[in-house]
Amino acid sequence: MNTLRHILTLFLFAAPALAQAAGDGTVDPAAMQPPKPPSELGKFQPLLGYWEGSGVASDPGHPDTKWTATAWYHKVLDGFFVQEDAAITLEGMKETLLFRSFLGYDGLRKEYVVLSIGNNHTAHRAIAHWDGKSMVTASSQVNGGKLEVERWTTTVTDKKSMDILGMKAVGAGKFFAHVRGSYTRKGDEPPKVSAADAAHAFMVKAGAEMDKLKGFAGTFDFKGGMWMDAKQPEMPIRGRSITTAIYGGTVLETECRGDPSPMGTYKAWGALAWSPSSKCYVSLWVDNMGEASLEHGWFVDKQKLVFTAAKPSMGGTPSVMRSVVSLDDKGVLTQHRVHTIVGTGAAFQCFKLDYTKR
């Protein structure tokens, strides 16, 4: 669930080292310094800037379709992620495909990641691999009752040129070149988006599942607390989140900012969408501490939504979290409670938030 509680990723697993630094089992505020972006992020440096591209999209038995596109890569969240804003126009199609992605490095899992949303029901987290100058990602989904597998390769050939290749296989069929094209770097920033571009912000309509989440949209003040373990005192937290329905209401996008603390000012981006293929809600979250998470959620009744997640700790110990999000009788977000289990330990409440809509 998209909230400040993802800051727990660092607090929960850095707590022993911080306590040792204090020498008495408590957390030393002087040791709580803001983390720095990992050096691995240098891999994304050649992508930075504004690009314009073109190419063809292919499907067996159909003529090729020409496309044009733009892509803007820029650093966000204090340099912990590279945000990509892409727009793709297919010949003969009125709507423009829009995607927003966050490229980063997951320090807990030791892997490059790409988290993406789009106006075509895209909401996923993919592992990225580097093969020389090429970034490679893969994904799969069920479409029309058949499994589709895609592999995407992005290769920066020089400072101003970039090639992409999307390979696809349907069912038991062979892989074929689904998308081919090249980009040219035009500068550091894009021109302003026109009103005509903004008018085509979605391709698919929001269904009944997203209608249930209308009360998540708006500006909320939040306050609460978190615990690094069952024996530690509560650490108070406060902040504000702004959630907006985008892509015709198919995605809820959140910008979150915590009040200043010894760790600095917490900043995050999140997205919440319904996945038709997974038949559940998908929550994506990235922040200025390097968190890059995906959670799945379901309604257990009309006023409670439950999300689950599992991840390794900094020392390799597995952990699981369960988030319970509560709504009032009008469907407005009111509170959030999280319990966690680390290793073989007992479950304990690690996080709570109460929301007030402005």
Residues 89-101: tens digit of each pLDDT: 999 988 889 999 9
- For residue 191, is pLDDT > 90? no
Q: Is the pLDDT of residue 317 over 90?
A: no
End-of-domain residue from the set 139, 167, 199: 199
Contacts of 177 by beta carbon, 8 Å cutoff, 6+ apart? 58, 165, 166, 167
To the nearest whole percent, how much of the chain has pLDDT over 70? 87
**Contact between residue 84 and residue 104 where contact means Cβ atoms under 8 Å apart:** no
Whether 193 and 268 map to the same domain: the answer is no
Q: What is the pLDDT of residue 50?
A: 96
Q: Are residues 189 and 94 in the same domain?
A: yes
Final residue in a domain of this structure, among 147, 172, 199: 199
Residues 27 and 47 in one domain: no
Confidence bin at 311 (pLDDT 50/70/90): confident
Whether residue 357 is predicted with pLDDT greater than 50 in this model: the reply is: yes
The pLDDT confidence band at residue 20, using thresholds 50, 70 and 90, is very low
CA–CA gap between residue 206 and residue 261 (Å, rounded): 38
Place 248 in a pLDDT band, splitting at 50, 70 and 90: confident
C-alpha 73/C-alpha 120 separation (Å) is 21
Q: What is the pLDDT of residue 143?
A: 83
Q: What is the pLDDT of residue 4?
A: 42
Q: Are residues 100 and 117 in the same domain?
A: yes
pLDDT tier at 130 (50, 70, 90 boundaries)? Answer: very high
| Domain boundary residue, one of 166, 184, 199 | 199
Residues 174 and 72 in one domain: yes
Average pLDDT of the chain? 87
pLDDT by residue (tens digit) across 43-55? 999 999 999 999 9
How many Cα atoms occupy the beta-carbon half-sphere of 286 within 13 Å?
26
Residues 182 and 51 in one domain: yes
Contact predicate 18/32, CB 8 Å: yes
Ranking 15-29, 107-121, 173-187 by mean pLDDT, the lowest is: 15-29
Q: Which is more confident, 139 or 34?
A: 139
Q: Is the pLDDT of residue 303 over 70?
A: yes
Outline where DSSP puts E strands in the chain.
49-57, 65-76, 81-90, 97-106, 111-118, 123-131, 134-143, 146-158, 161-170, 176-187, 218-226, 235-246, 251-258, 267-275, 280-287, 292-301, 304-312, 318-327, 333-342, 348-357
Identify the band that residue 199 occupies on the pLDDT scale cut at 50, 70 and 90.
Answer: very low
- Indicate if 62 and 97 belong to the same structural domain: yes
Does the pLDDT at position 217 exceed 50?
Answer: yes
Give residue-wise pLDDT tens across range 269-299: 999 999 988 899 999 999 999 999 999 999 9
pLDDT surpasses 50 at 162:
yes
Task: For residue 211, give its domain range.
Answer: 4-36+206-357
Cα–Cα distances (Å) from 268 to 3, 86, 318, in that order, read: 8, 20, 24
State the pLDDT confidence band at 351, using cuts at 50, 70 and 90: very high
Q: Report the number of distinct structural domains present in the chain.
A: 2
Residues 236 and 305 in one domain: yes
CA pair distance 54, 344, nearest whole angstrom: 53
pLDDT at position 41 is: 96
Model confidence at 120: pLDDT above 90: no
- Find the mean pLDDT for residues 216-229: 93
Residues 8 and 74 in one domain: no
| Residue 53 and residue 31 in one domain | no
Which pLDDT score is estimated for 156? 95
Please check the confidence at residue 16 and state whether its pLDDT lies above 70: no
Same domain, 266 and 220: yes
Which of 151-155, 195-199, 247-251, 318-322 bottoms out in mean pLDDT, i.e. has the lowest? Answer: 195-199
Own/partner pairs, 206-211, CB within 8 angstroms, 24+ separation: 206/245, 206/248, 206/249, 206/250, 207/274, 209/274, 209/281, 210/245, 210/249, 210/250, 210/252, 210/273, 210/274, 211/249
The reported pLDDT for the residue numbered 22 is 41
Residues 249-267 have a mean pLDDT of: 89
The CATH number of residue 239's host domain is: 2.40.128.20
| Predicted confidence band of residue 13 (pLDDT cuts 50, 70, 90) | very low
- Tell me the pTM: 0.88
Does 319 have pLDDT greater than 70?
Answer: yes
* Whether residue 271 is found in the same domain as residue 348: yes
What's the pLDDT band for 12 if we cut at 50, 70, 90?
very low
Percent of the chain with pLDDT over 90: 67
